[in-house]
Amino acid sequence: MLVFLLHLFFYVCYPNQLFMQEHISEDSTKDTTKRQFYIAVGATLVFLLCTLYQVIVWKQFTSEYEKTFGIIVKNKMDKEKKYYPVIRFKTLDNQRISFTAPEPAKTKYNEGDTVYVYYDLLNADDAKLAGGEYRGIAIFSVLVLLMATWAIYLYKKTQ
């Protein structure tokens, strides 16, 4: 599937090179550059919308969850040798909650390590280990920047 998409992209961006035409007119080169420009603008808009979606999801998440400190009580290891930290934290109303992270930790924590925890204000048992909250926003922001730079380059090339 990836190979097909790459061929399709190459065909749309460079149709003359695909068929090895020896005599390429200046008009067809400008048409190809314009086509590349429109693809770059479209990709920029798609990544911009994805970034906005990530920001909206993040804002909704932070409005429903409270951030606090938790302490690693122990690490559970599964059959694949992945570590799931067991974390204890206190809620705003001083409830003590312990939970096992639903996803394996990227690093093994030591007992007593302090970590950030998000928990649902209405259901404190629904807790998540913090980390990587901004990853989606950062990735899509970089892609928007790259696509916009490509679009500006192509726009100047057509002038």
- Where is mean pLDDT largest: 25-29, 86-90, 105-109? 86-90
Query: Over 60: is that where the pLDDT of 25 sits?
Result: no
* 32 or 125, greater pLDDT: 125
Beta-sheet pairing, 96-100 with 83-90: antiparallel
Give yes or no for a contact between 129 and 99, defined as CB atoms under 8 angstroms apart. no
Average pLDDT over residues 114-140: 82
Give residue 2's pLDDT.
46
Give residue 132's pLDDT.
66
Q: What is the mean pLDDT of the chain?
A: 78
Average pLDDT over residues 85-111: 89
Residues 6+ apart with CB under 8 A from 18: 10, 11
The C-alpha R_g of the chain, in whole angstroms, comes to 25
Give yes or no for a contact between 76 and 86, defined as CB atoms under 8 angstroms apart. yes
Query: First CA to last CA across the chain, in angstroms?
Result: 35
Alpha-carbon separation of residue 20 from 9, 11, 25, 123 (angstroms): 16, 12, 13, 64
- In this structure, of 28-32, 80-84, 140-144, 149-153, the range with the lowest mean pLDDT score is 28-32
> What percentage of the chain exceeds 70 in pLDDT?
79
* Other beta carbons less than 10 A from residue 57's beta carbon: 12
Give residue 60's pLDDT.
83
Average pLDDT over residues 140-157: 80
- Does pTM surpass 0.85? no
